[in-house]
Amino acid sequence: MNERVAIVGYKQTKHTFDSPVARERMIYELVKALFAELGITRDDIDTFILASNDFTDGRTISEVFTVPRIGAYMKDETKVESDGLSAALYAYMRILSGLYETALVVGFSMAGSEFRAPLIQSYTLDPVYERPRGIINYYSIAALQANAYMRKYKFTEEDLAQLTVKNLENANNNPYAARKEENPSIDKVLGSKPLYLPIRQAHVSAYADGACAVILSSKKMAKKFTNKPVWIDGVGHFMDTYYIGDRDLLAMEHLSAAAKKAYKMAGIKNPKKEIDLAEIHTNFSSEEPVFAEAMGLFKPGSGKDVVKNGESRIDGALPINPSGGPLGANPINATGLIRLAEASAQLRNEAGKNQVKGAKTAVVHAQDGPGAQLNTVFVVRR
């Protein structure tokens, strides 16, 4: 068995709302560019893991055409039908088992141009009772959660708008983000179209066309790829119950459990102190304070103070989504993997304008399902 696994390479596309190329070409060019950067060929990869979904691809067994495009022709490969961070988790397991030394993980979708995310998301709902009524959906769940948080902790619409502005500013400095809004301001956010209040259009993540590729390696092989490995020191993933009425949308117990498991594995006792930054998969900016608190990064209910003191800004005590997060680009299936790539960039001091100074430990989160039913957490270190 391998003891330690590293991220030794990562690359993402410039995410857009109108990709000029098809998904097959997008991932082919991405993987090819990553191999060229590292000076490797596909023969240096032991196992290939895709993260995609037949619904988002609009095609049965869509990997029939995407598997060869990531270099897995005549190779060992499989597919996780969930977010890319789950695929990275599977790659991590495969390397830990000792049967593989290196793995390529690729997640992608064309959420910007080929389909409307709310439609595809609605297909995950109970088709008998919930889907046809349209009352429960990803947006209304976010609104229920946001309202509960705002009411309990006196978090205002202005506070929420300020969080959105923080993320949009970060996204403006992120060369890969799809969404670029000139001079984002609280007024502009509060003036955007109300959807399910307090959720407005501005708070919704930017469903985009894009892909992300990450290479994992055992300790033994890491040197071959890079002298700046980023180590995966803790992982955790848990699924919540399906029915929204049965969940505690504020406590997010299963996200909390996933984070605790990852921290324990990484030997982290005080996440607030020991973690330098977090990349969190939020479909709506209202999820940010709830998730960050469930992950033990801030005290429960401290959202208002965090916003006021700028604690989650890039220059704050614990930057959350210095990349701008999914508010800047949310190519479903790649989004969680992009969080891992962004955290790796931070730990390798390659995050450009969004660089968090002296970042050594990061926590990465991905969600899947309605109201973040499935949560995956990674702790990564320089």
Interacting residue ranges for another protein, rule: CB under 8 A: 1, 53-55, 58-61, 63-65, 67-68, 72-82, 86, 89-90, 92-94, 96-99, 120-121, 123-128, 235-243, 254, 368-370, 373-374
Q: Nearer to another protein by C-beta: 212 or 372? A: 372
The two structure tokens encoding residue 32: 């090819």
Residue 148, burial from CB neighbour count under 10 angstroms (0-12, 13-18, 19+): middle
H or E, element range at 32: helix 23-38
Closest CA to 277 of 337, 214, 340: 340
Cα 172 to its chain centre, rounded Å, is: 18
Query: At its nearest, how many Å lie between another protein and the CB of residue 254?
Result: 7
Q: Nearer to another protein by C-beta: 190 or 244? A: 244
> Contact, 210 vs 15, CB < 8 A?
yes
CA gap 164, 202 in Å, rounded: 7
Query: At its nearest, how many Å lie between another protein and the CB of residue 246?
Result: 8
Q: Which residue has the tokens 């709302």?
A: 17
Query: At its nearest, how many Å lie between another protein and the CB of residue 287?
Result: 17
Query: At its nearest, how many Å lie between another protein and the CB of residue 166?
Result: 30
Residue 88, burial from CB neighbour count under 10 angstroms (0-12, 13-18, 19+): buried
CA gap 53, 87 in Å, rounded: 12
Query: At its nearest, how many Å lie between another protein and the CB of residue 47?
Result: 9
Q: Nearer to another protein by C-beta: 163 or 215? A: 215
CA gap 132, 331 in Å, rounded: 26
Query: At its nearest, how many Å lie between another protein and the CB of residue 243?
Result: 7
Query: At its nearest, how many Å lie between another protein and the CB of residue 193?
Result: 26
H or E, element range at 119: helix 117-122
> Contact, 178 vs 109, CB < 8 A?
no
Q: Nearer to another protein by C-beta: 75 or 272? A: 75
Q: Nearer to another protein by C-beta: 283 or 321? A: 283
Q: Nearer to another protein by C-beta: 138 or 225? A: 138
Q: Nearer to another protein by C-beta: 310 or 369? A: 369
